[in-house]
Structure 1
């Protein structure tokens, strides 16, 4: 059996080169939490880890995950505040007519499309800990500039540059989360990160409601103008924090809060999972990614959840009823964001506990499908219609769940993972640039019968996409003779790492050609035949 205390770790690359370095770290693979830690582990898995691993996860949660949440919140605030501003006086102040509101959304989308893939190329050469904070400060400047708008033109320009700068955030943070966390930890972190989108939508509603009632007219500025200013003030410290918080990747981290033992533990963890370190991507590698099935099959499964998101029109229906105040119109939809958060956290815990990925994705899309069908009918009771809008918010869970699943299926290449998410994001926004204008035209508000019918159809397409990605991944595994490691992840036989204790036993069998130093209790991570 495995030794209780590990003092040496030797990591061998999957290309069969000789060991490069001996890493010193404590590791207790059979550790089981007791006392308070045992109970805390039921809520957050970090507390159930052995001491050295727990220290690493606490630091990653406190810096990488926290920064991801904060950055996504300010990103969403700087993106979604346009909706709150529109229903809080901007429409009247700027004399916005026809589809000009949709054009503002489209301007952002065009900028985002232009920036997503180039951002991944840049981050293949420039550390995310440098690139992402710079982008944060850049988009913040344009978000604050919208406070001075005298016509829709400045809004269009600012929104385009905000989209350009924000394009790299989501792929890069999900890229790093997928590089540091293990399968049993991944869904909780990824969904917590992406649920920051819902948190921000809630905060935006509360902030706008508070600004409208307390600062409308202060300094000669309308409440919606103060919203842009306050959002910018919040964003700047987050950008600065990112320089210190982002650890880049386990193989090249220089985070000041990670000591050598933390870094060694991280390398051991990713070796066990079978993940490869990032590498420079040349032109041929770039072309090979685009020639592979992986990017396109993942795109179909990942992009459709964003396209079938119809929650943004809830406040327009509330406003059309002419029975709610501006504050209530901003606050009521935050209940849907709360539904999304609870629903997402439940599925993330369930997914990590059971190891089920694609199965739970299919279950998670059922509530928004029911909501779309109800709103397609439209002429239903007021309470049923309100419930239908809230059901739509449950749909936000399926996209991060798909991202977790894709991270594991595509774990063989860090570059494929990052580029696939960026490509899927680009295609998603290519459709978002025109699809809402067609199926949710502002002039038809609030009754979008066609829009909700199309959205229901897109959920059906998402289900097809899940089965398509599953079929392609199974085909790849059979074709390449892949095997499953201790975490249930498919890897090549040469990439199957084992941990050998001082008695030369391992999870997968004995090492036949290499011997372990008998004088020391050691853990050796090597490649071995399945």
Structure 2
């Protein structure tokens, strides 16, 4: 480089040319960075040891209370309540019907109250309702009670997702959402074990059907956990209330606020109105594509309330053996879901894991329909259950970062995704009709159609975010700092 060139560069950066940082300054800066990294690791570790276990436990018990209806079907539920035709399907769907009117208003409200008290209150209410289901005498009683169960459970999932997005960054969130959802998968596993134990010991005890004892026991356990959560759930990092005050130091809390602000995609808005956040969410096409991903994935789980009956049709053993055989596929899917979520975070890719998991599900369904051998059909269930469950957490983590122009939009977007997902749990039970038992081939074909639709929607979302990233890069070109981009 000649002197003229050197002079031109120096003229652009006169301060840098005159005062070079000393070695002591460099050492101090490096020491500060290492200190901040240590504080951040401690912060995340505390979150993983306080917030996540409580959310996991409540989410597991919520799903245990919601889906124990499938184990009740193997007891005397239908005979005791005089159900026939598609009435069982309707009872299954009614809990999800209760979700729909509650989710969006709830997630608008949660941004203005203490999340710890809000979520714990609703956990207490759904636990009480879950316990009283044991007292139902007719089909209409059970349908109405299941509606109330869904109504009180509705705030938890979108509210928990929003609360996690207030603490965890994009590269941390996918795995944590998967960890929370593993509670649902573990509920499916524990449900079979608990039901097997209850039915073997308490069926007919004190003149009550085994399904009534099942509801009493599981509802009571949920109530105990809900009361404990009042003391251990966290509020947002911008507050110093409740558990936040004694879990985190002021330095950790401030760092929690700063790192979430720095992690937001470079398209932030300054208007913090709840109604403006709802408007942004409704007008954002990314929210609706993510909703379609969640809805089509949810539709692929239509087998869930019928899986015990499907295993029973394989003639592997009696009721207790059937219930025990429902456990291993759920256990495997819990592990695979965590691995898929970790890979999604690690490689910053959401669409590819969705597509791969849905392909696995399609293979499992095809194998099941292509053979009559019980052992092969049981093996195939590992494939389609694992493939379906592995996808669940990804669109939830995706929406927390792809639709986050304000915290309020992020909250409303999460609720919209959950509402659209809830729709799938209303119609999916009707895919499996009693007259199609025990193979349920028409229902399996419908699941394949939804799996293909989920793959298409994931590809569409990837293209939309790739286009948005190009626009942001063009807008920031030549301005110095690089924008924070969407994860594809």
TM over 0.5: yes
> Matched residues in 1 for 2:295 and 2:239: separation?
30
1:272 counterpart (258, 262, 267): 262
The Cα shift of 1:112 comes to: 0.9
SS of structure 1 residue aligned to 2:439: coil
Judge conservation of contact 1:278–1:414 (CA < 8 Å) in 2: no
Segment drifting more, 481-490 vs 362-371: 481-490
Structure (1/2) with the larger helix percentage: 2
Q: Mind listing any 5+ residue stretches in structure 1 that lack a counterpart?
A: 7-25, 32-48, 492-530
Pairwise CA distance, 1:236: 1.6
Q: What is the number of equivalent residue pairs in this alignment?
A: 453
1:76 and 2:63 matched: yes
Paired with 2:26 and 2:394, the residues of 1 have a C-alpha distance of: 35
Deviations 1:461-480 (A, max 9, x none): 11111111122222333345
Name the residue aligned to 1:290: 282
Q: How does 1:241-390 map to 2 (within 5 A)?
A: 241-254=228-241, 255-256=244-245, 257-274=247-264, 280-312=272-304, 313-377=306-370, 379-390=371-382
Which whole-Å deviations, capped at 9, do the CAs of 1:232-289 have from their partners, x for residues lacking one? 1111232223323332322235223222122022123213313779975343442332
Q: CA deviation at 1:103?
A: 0.8
CA distance in 2, matches of 1:334, 1:103: 25
* Offset at residue 176 of structure 1 (A): 1.7
1:188 lines up with 2:175 in the alignment: yes
Q: In the alignment, which residue of structure 1 is the partner of 2:404?
A: 411
Q: What displacement does 1:27 show?
A: 7.9
Say which is worse superposed, 409-418 or 68-77, in terms of deviation: 409-418
CA contact (8 A) 2:57 2:183 kept: yes
CA distance in 2, matches of 1:302, 1:71: 21
Moved more, 226-235 or 443-452: 443-452
SS in 1 for 2:69: helix
Match of 1:142 in 2: 129
TM-score by length of 2: 0.85
Q: Deviations over 1:55-80 (max 9, x none)?
A: 21222112211111001011011101
Q: Give distance in 2, aligned partners of 1:476 and 1:145.
A: 50
1:136 & 1:280 partners in 2: Cα distance? Answer: 28
User: 2:448 aligns to what?
Assistant: 456
Q: 1: distance between equivalents of 2:210 and 2:270?
A: 46
Return closer, same or farther for 1:55/1:448 CA change in 2, 3 Å cut-off: same
* C-alpha contact (below 8 Å) 1:143/1:232 kept by paired residues: yes
Cα gap change, 1:62/1:486 in structure 2, threshold over 3 Å: closer, same or farther? farther
The two structures, once aligned, show a CA RMSD in angstroms of 2.7
- For 1:365 and 1:420, the matched residues in 2 are separated by 24
> Contact 2:341 / 2:394 at 8 angstroms: preserved in 1?
yes
Change (3 A) 1:352 1:287: closer
In structure 2, the CA distance between the partners of 1:482 and 1:326, relative to structure 1 (3 Å rule), is: farther
Residues 146-171 of structure 1 deviation map (CA, whole Å, 9 limit, x = unaligned):
11122222211110011011111111
SS in structure 1 opposite 2:248? coil
The residue that corresponds to 2:6 in the other structure is: none
Residues 304-360 of structure 1: CA distance to partner in whole angstroms, max 9, x if unpaired?
Answer: 111111442221122234552221121211111011112112212323333332222
Contact 1:358/1:405 (CA < 8 Å) preserved in 2? Answer: no
Matches within 5 A, 1:437-456: 437=430, 439-456=431-448
Structure 2 segments unaligned to the other structure (5+ residues): 1-20
What residue in structure 2 maps to residue 211 of structure 1? 198
Change (3 A) 1:100 1:181: same
Report Cα offsets for 1:192-229 as digits up to 9, x if no partner: 11111001111111111111112223333222111111
Query: Does structure 2 conserve the Cα–Cα contact (< 8 Å) formed by 1:99 and 1:443?
Result: no
